[in-house]
Structure 1
Amino acid sequence: MYVFMKGFIKFLRSIEVPQARWNRATLAFLIWGGLCLLANLFCTNANAFGGDQGYWADWVKKLAEGGFEKFNGNYPPLYVFWLWVVSKVYVLFDIPIDKTFMLKFLCLWPVYFAHLALVDIASRLVSKIKLEPAKANLVLAFVALNPALLLDGPIWGQVDMFPCIFGIAALYCVNFRSKMKYAALFFALALLAKFQMILLLPIFGGIFIRKYKISWRGLPAMAVAIVLVLLPFFIAGNLSGMLSRAYVNTTSQYPYATYNAANLWMLTVGNLSADATPFFNLPKEGIWSLLSPAWIGKILFVIVSLYILKCSLFARNLRTTFKLATFSSFAFFLLLPGMHERYLIYAIPFACMWLVLDLRKSWFWVACITLLCAMNIEMVNGLKGGDLWPWISAFGVIVFAAASVHALFPKFFPLLAYAVSRLSLPRFTPYVVLGLILVVELSCEVRESRPIEVELLPNQMYLTDLKIDHYTQEYGSPRINRSVEGKTLMVKNRQFEHGIGSHASSSLHFTLPANAEYLDFYVGVDDEVSGGGSVKFIVKSDEGELWSSGLVRGNNAPVPGRAKVAGLDHIVLVIDADGDNAYDHADWLSLILTLKK
């Protein structure tokens, strides 16, 4: 381990470059911003948390069908604007809205840019405070590749990083006279993006009050921002409903002491315990109701918030500001009832800023908070999914190739680092690269996600219009036009309107029309098993095998097939489990019979 760390630190030092050509902060951002971008895109291929993706799909459908007027989600308005943009993409390309990779990918665009902005800010600060190269690169690596941020955002599919970047901007601006006019604006945007940003109020409010002689000048900009953000909902007649759902009803949505959050209440009363139940089996009526997690947690958090407010009134620098923000976020998660497994994530961006500004005093606490947050999220929805295998395999090949080059040509990478340092790229390059990658990836997703267009000729019909004579199936029953679990038929993110969802091993028997000539179709393992499963599809008749797919695995693209059925009155669609039948949710898709004219 010592040898590894020594070698890694030498590598980090090697990427320091001549100041004459490069601004140090710019180079740091180009390197770590690029790695942050790659890490986010890689992790997006992991399985998302299905429940939250269901919310996104439902809300995007509502926005596509009725705009802001019909929106019934319990989410603050700023991110809803982005969901509205997502809905327009689906409408423009006529793609069914469902829990697919494309939906997760589109919903995460604000997170990608927010994480990149965090790396940008961090790289500027490490340059400003003149951290030595090895320490600066270790800190930026922690920010760019932070496991908690990756688990919450691109892996889980949540957008908690989006409001945090506004919170960081607000805390930064409120500390400087020249930027004070933007502070209230950014704080308002943070609250309009996620109500949980109220946890910053003791810090922001304390500094704002201390600098009241100039801080009030930002209030007009804040008011304008609030009006502009709420105006579409007001015009749509849905303002009061949106505000009630996002800022009032959501606070009591989960009446539990803790909802998978590893905090004080998980330790004392257990997961999913009612927050209104008093300790020691005391009566729920009268004064005893105050001795419940609901009241005790809020009282403790108020006490902590008052202490933080007092400290912020005397905070004189950014280090103290972000230290207090980290502490407030930690207390928010640890003390309040109704916390989710993800809600410690709000501490991480502020902790990253604290780490940058005060590495010596903060590293231990920041590491502990990050570890706790990452473990809590990992227990509910970790890094997994069939779509990751190609990326992991490619990474292994690249690492092996790089190690081989380094062994054969030890000076190659130092020379490469020097050559890169001589380039002259603008600071905003990572943002442009991210934008281009997102647009290219979106175009690929649009092409692959659009349902396969099938226009039946007069002499064609769907096989699914015929009854299944009889069948055998080891798990469940075959479903017409649905997967075996009753979901939309979907293979490799492509949806199919017609088909049969089955499970290996199975045999489906059909009697054909007398003039049937050809059967055309696609086959594949349904996406509902997240890349698992491996099967063989076979079309048979009494005369023998008519067509075979070979081995088809989960995450393979739909496989086209054609079987000549002329002169046959009966066929059997067979799915072979190829060994065990775990995850073998197999689909026959767009089965089209062509009849003789």
Structure 2
Amino acid sequence: MSEITVGSADKRTFTIYVILLLFCAGVVRLLLAEQYSGFISDQGLFVQWMESVRENGLGGAFAVNGSINYPPLFLGMLGLYGDLLHLLGISTQAGAVSFKFILIMIDLVAILLVVRLTAGIANYNWRAFVILLFALNPALMTDSAVWGQVDLLHSILMLLAVIGLTNRPLWSGILFAFALLTKFQAITVLPVMGLWLLLILIREKQYRPLLLWVSGFAGPWILTIIYFGATGSLTKMIRQAYTDAVGFYSSASMNAMNIWFHIIGVDPGTNDTQTIAAGISMRNFGFLLLFAAVIGICLYMYYSREDRTTMLLKASATLCFSFFMLPTEIHERYSIPALVFTLLVIKHDKQWTWSAGLLTLTILMNLVIVLNNDVTAGNGIWMAIVNVLVLIGMFGSLWMGVKRSCKPSVVKEVGER
């Protein structure tokens, strides 16, 4: 794409483009939400939880509703949305726009945030292309407007937290706390964030970023603990939203097209407590593979001399996709954070456009076959193979970054602006 001269006329044109794109993104999502009911089971639970929060308050909802297995942030949003609909006299129904509208609004806010995050791209054509890939991404739209899920919420919070590490550690900590209060899966990027803060502390002798990040992270959690402690539901909330959510499904793969979907000769429906070799269960073997991936990603971060934001985004994208590909008990939707990070990596490295395109394809088809209750080895194995190739490509990109480095990078200019 050719460069565009930056000027007031170009800025006006780009602003009009963003407005039109937001309009199109909203309309397409509304049409999809109206046309397809999606995954009624998930939405039915969300509507039930919404009513529980409206009737009993956020703390009381956990106390009386044992089916709640999401952290409180989205539950609180559902409660406020339910109050608004009740005030307007609108009845909420699973599978209808009346429920999915809150998900569409989250999508549109995420698009606006991506517009802001891409402000550093000088080429307006390329910036417009990156935003377009995010705003009209068929996999992201299917997850929210069709399926009726909210994976983009914690994904965008994870993204903001990682990007904020380099110059806004206080806000990074706050946003990461919000991400964990939205879904436990957000903990995936903790090794990346933790290593970055340690490198700053050890190499640059800067304590302030770490202290600011910890302070920001602690704030929302302290308020959460105080609130749920006062309502007497803290223990139930922690158990239902976090501890009981781990290991609840014991299948090798929960419809995720990863290595456990026939790639290594294991039927995805196999109980992952079965041993695979040397007395090691499938579950523990998956954790070992993920641990090895974390080590490799940490080595990349240690030796990388790439731009700091580029390095953090690549490391996070690879780690999120490793989490989807390597452990057992993974659901099809757990790939959404990896896609979100990859879509932002291409702002810095255009070669990752291939990964973004292939992930969009495999995630979209993975969601579609699950929605159609049509998951079979025959129609899913190609997605698993493509995903393996994408993961290899991601690690290959990290390896090339390490190979170009002769010594550990020096992290510069870190601290809150």
Under TM normalisation by the shorter chain, which class is it? Answer: 0.7 to 0.9
**Higher alpha-carbon deviation: 35-44 or 264-273:** 35-44
Shift in Å, 1:209 = 1.4
**Aligned counterpart, 2:320:** 329
CA distance in structure 2 between the aligned counterparts of 1:77 and 1:21, rounded to whole angstroms: 45
- Which residue type is aligned with residue 73 of structure 2? L
Partner residue in 2 for 1:34: 23
Question: Residue 138 of structure 2 corresponds to which residue in structure 1?
Answer: 147
Length-normalised TM-score, structure 1: 0.56
Contact preservation (8 Å) 2:115, 2:131 = no
8 Å Cα contact 1:110/1:159 also seen in 2:
no
Amino acid at match of 1:19: G
Residue identity opposite 2:52 in structure 1: K
For residues 416-495 of structure 1, the aligned pairs below 5 Å read none
In the TM superposition, residue 23 of structure 1 has moved relative to its aligned partner by: 2.7
Change (3 A) 1:145 1:94: closer
Whole-angstrom CA distance in 1 between matches of 2:316 and 2:85: 38
**SS of residue paired to 1:201:** helix
Aligned length: 355
Residue 24 (structure 2) pairs with residue 23 (structure 1): no
Segments of 5+ residues of structure 2 without an aligned counterpart are: 373-417
Residues 155 and 336 in structure 2, CA contact (< 8 A), matched pair in contact too: no
CA 1:20/1:111 → structure 2, altered by over 3 Å: closer, same or farther?
A: closer
Could you tell me which residue of structure 2 aligns to residue 180 of structure 1? Answer: 169
Q: CA RMSD in A?
A: 2.5
Is 1:269 matched up with 2:266?
A: yes
CA displacement 1:464-518 (0-9 Å, x = unmatched): xxxxxxxxxxxxxxxxxxxxxxxxxxxxxxxxxxxxxxxxxxxxxxxxxxxxxxx
Which structure 2 residues correspond to residues 523-538 of structure 1 after superposition, within 5 A?
A: none
The one-letter amino acid paired with 1:35 is C
Residues 357, 110 of structure 1: alpha-carbon distance in 2 compared, 3 angstrom cutoff = same
Calculate percent identity across the aligned residue pairs. 25
Q: How is 1:542-557 mapped onto 2 (pairs within 5 angstroms)?
A: none
Deviations 1:281-318 (A, max 9, x none): x8xxxx62x1x321110110011112222323445421
Tell me the residue number matched to 2:415. none
Is 1:66 paired with 2:45? no
Distance 1:328 1:107 in 2: 29
Shift of 1:167: 1.1
Secondary structure at the counterpart of residue 256 of structure 1: coil
TM-score (norm 2): 0.78
AA aligned to 2:356 is V
Matching of residue 346 in structure 1 with residue 304 in structure 2: no
Q: Of 117, 123, 136, which aligns to 1:131?
A: 123
Instruction: Name the counterpart of 1:278.
Output: 275
Q: What is the aligned counterpart of 1:254 among 244, 249, 252?
A: 249
Higher CA-based Rg: 1
Richer in helix (by share): 2
**What residue is the counterpart of 1:57 in the other structure?**
47
Looking at structure 2, the residues matched to 226 and 109 of structure 1 have their Cα atoms a distance apart, in angstroms, of 27
| Distance (whole Å) between structure 2 residues aligned to residue 230 and residue 106 of structure 1 | 30
User: Retained in 2: the 8 A contact 1:36–1:115?
Assistant: no
Match of 2:193 in 1: 204
Distance, in Å, in 2 between the alignment partners of 1:352 and 1:238 is 38
Match of 2:371 in 1: 381
Partner of 2:392: none
**Residue in structure 2 matched with residue 516 of structure 1 by the alignment:** none
Measured in 2, the distance between the counterparts of 1:162 and 1:375 equals 21
Q: Distance between the aligned counterparts of 2:22 and 2:115, measured in 1?
A: 7
What letter is aligned with 1:49? Answer: F
Instruction: For residue 117 of structure 1, report the CA deviation from its aligned partner.
Output: 3.0
Alignment of 1:303-322 (within 5 A): 303-315=292-304, 316-322=307-313
Give the direction of change, closer, same or farther, for the CA distance of 1:154–1:278 in structure 2 (3 Å limit).
same
Amino acid at match of 1:23: K
Distance in 2 between the 1:48 and 1:157 partners? 6
TM-aligned CA deviation for residue 59 of structure 1: 0.9
CA distance in 1, matches of 2:55, 2:194: 40
Flag the 1:18–1:327 CA change in 2: closer, same or farther, 3 A. Answer: closer
Q: Deviations over 1:179-205 (max 9, x none)?
A: 233221111111111110111112111
Residue 81 of structure 2 is aligned with which of 81, 86, 94? 86
- 8 Å contact kept, 1:257–1:265: yes
Q: Which amino acid is the alignment partner of residue 287 of structure 2?
A: K
Q: Where is the strand percentage greater, Structure 1 or Structure 2?
A: 1
1:228–1:145: structure 2 CA closer, same or farther, 3 Å change rule? same
Distance, in Å, in 1 between the alignment partners of 2:335 and 2:275 is 25
